[in-house]
């Protein structure tokens, strides 16, 4: 009798433990912002509060389609405002970050969609974040500047086809 009671208690203990773990904030792996420092967290919180959409009505048709993919794929874990208001503008900043997002658990971003999102974000930076982009290009090392400009031109040319 005693041992049966203990068995039951232990099993219920496990059930309770699993229930508690599932409701802890840390258990929501998908949204965890825990792997960045406090300053980055504060900066990101600012992005989240900014505008949550881009007016793409004057963008080329292909870029408008890429925007739809971006909206769908980059809102699984956080606001769309986060990437929209981010200070990333250089092609390599975007490709590095898209890769980082692809490696997060449950991100569900295919290579084909990653390319579309990259194309949108690089194009968008040339319009909406032009001043910041020009600033970063101006202070980049000559080889990095040439590399970034080539990548930007490629995106612009492809979008015009």
Which residues of the chain form contacts with ligand HEC (CB under 6 A)?
Answer: 30, 32-33, 35-36, 40, 43-44, 73-74, 76-78, 82-83, 86, 88, 97-98, 100-101, 104, 106-107, 109, 117
Q: Considering the complex, state which of residue 82 and residue 148 has its C-beta at the smaller distance from ligand HEC.
A: 82
- Dihedral sign, Cα of residue 76, residue 49, residue 67, residue 104: negative
Q: Considering the complex, state which of residue 10 and residue 103 has its C-beta at the smaller distance from ligand HEC.
A: 103
Tell me the H-state helices in 24-159: 38-49, 61-73, 81-84, 91-102, 111-128, 130-139, 142-159
What's the min distance (Å) between Cβ of 159 and ligand HEC? 18
Exposed, middle or buried, 83 (CB in 10 Å: 0-12/13-18/19+)?
A: buried
What's the min distance (Å) between Cβ of 41 and ligand HEC? 8
Q: Considering the complex, state which of residue 118 and residue 148 has its C-beta at the smaller distance from ligand HEC.
A: 118
Q: Considering the complex, state which of residue 5 and residue 26 has its C-beta at the smaller distance from ligand HEC.
A: 26
* Cα–Cα distance, 161 to 142 (Å, whole number): 29
What's the min distance (Å) between Cβ of 65 and ligand HEC? 15
Q: Considering the complex, state which of residue 9 and residue 53 has its C-beta at the smaller distance from ligand HEC.
A: 53
What's the min distance (Å) between Cβ of 119 and ligand HEC? 12
Q: In whole angstroms, how far apart are CA 15 and each of 7, 28, 138? A: 13, 18, 59
- Are the C-beta atoms of residues 118 and 67 closer than 8 Å to each other? no
What's the min distance (Å) between Cβ of 55 and ligand HEC? 18
Helices 130-139 and 111-128, axial angle in degrees (round to 10): 100
Name the token pair of 161.
């086809």
């Amino acid at each position: 009798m005693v041992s049966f009671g203990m068995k039951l208690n232990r099993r219920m203990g496990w059930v309770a433990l699993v229930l508690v773990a599932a409701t802890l904030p840390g258990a929501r792996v998908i949204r965890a912002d825990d792997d960045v420092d406090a300053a980055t967290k504060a900066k990101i919180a600012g992005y989240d509060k900014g505008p949550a959409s881009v007016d793409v009505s004057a963008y080329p048709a292909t870029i408008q389609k890429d925007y739809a993919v971006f909206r769908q794929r980059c809102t699984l874990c956080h606001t769309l405002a986060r990437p929209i208001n981010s200070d990333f503008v250089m092609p390599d900043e975007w490709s590095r970050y898209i890769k980082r997002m692809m490696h997060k658990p449950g991100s569900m971003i295919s290579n084909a969609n990653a390319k579309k999102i990259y194309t949108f974000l690089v194009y968008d930076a040339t319009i909406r974040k032009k001043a910041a982009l020009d600033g970063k290009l101006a202070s980049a090392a000559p080889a990095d500047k040439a590399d970034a400009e080539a990548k930007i031109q490629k995106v612009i040319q492809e979008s015009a086809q």
